[in-house]
Amino acid sequence: MIVVVVLVIAGMLIAGKHLTRPQPPGARLSGSNTAIKGKDAPDFQLTGVDGKTIQLADLRGKAVLLNFWATWCPPCKIEIPWFVDLQKQYGPQGLQIVGVAMDEGNPRDAIAKFAKEMGVNYTMVLGNDKIADAYGGVEALPTTFYIGRDGKIVTRVFGLVSHSEVEDNIRAALKQGGTVAQNPSLTAGAAR
Domain residues for the domain of 134 are: 2-175
pLDDT at 153: 96
Considering the domain boundaries, does residue 190 fall inside one? no
Work out the burial of residue 11: count CB atoms within 10 Å of its CB; fewer than 13 is exposed, 13-18 middle, 19 or more buried: exposed
Considering the domain boundaries, does residue 146 fall inside one? yes
CATH code: domain of residue 147? 3.40.30.10
Tell me which H or E stretch contains 139. Answer: none
Considering the domain boundaries, does residue 50 fall inside one? yes
pLDDT at 38: 86
Considering the domain boundaries, does residue 130 fall inside one? yes
148 within 8 A of 176, measured Cβ to Cβ: yes
Residues of the chain where predicted confidence (pLDDT) is lower than 50: 15-30, 180-192
Considering the domain boundaries, does residue 186 fall inside one? no
According to DSSP, residue 92 is labeled G
Instruction: State whether residue 174 is helix, strand or coil.
Output: helix
What is the tally of helices (H) and strands (E) in the chain?
A: 6, 7
Among 42, 12, 15, smallest CA distance to 30 is for: 42
Number of separate domains in the chain: 1
Distance of CA 57 to the CA centre of its chain: 15
Considering the domain boundaries, does residue 19 fall inside one? yes
Considering the domain boundaries, does residue 72 fall inside one? yes
Considering the domain boundaries, does residue 188 fall inside one? no
pLDDT at 37: 84
pTM reported for the whole predicted model: 0.77
Other beta carbons within 10 angstroms of residue 12's beta carbon come to 10
pLDDT at 36: 80
pLDDT at 105: 80
Whole-angstrom distance, CA of residue 58 vs CA of residue 46: 12
Whole-angstrom distance, CA of residue 181 vs CA of residue 62: 9
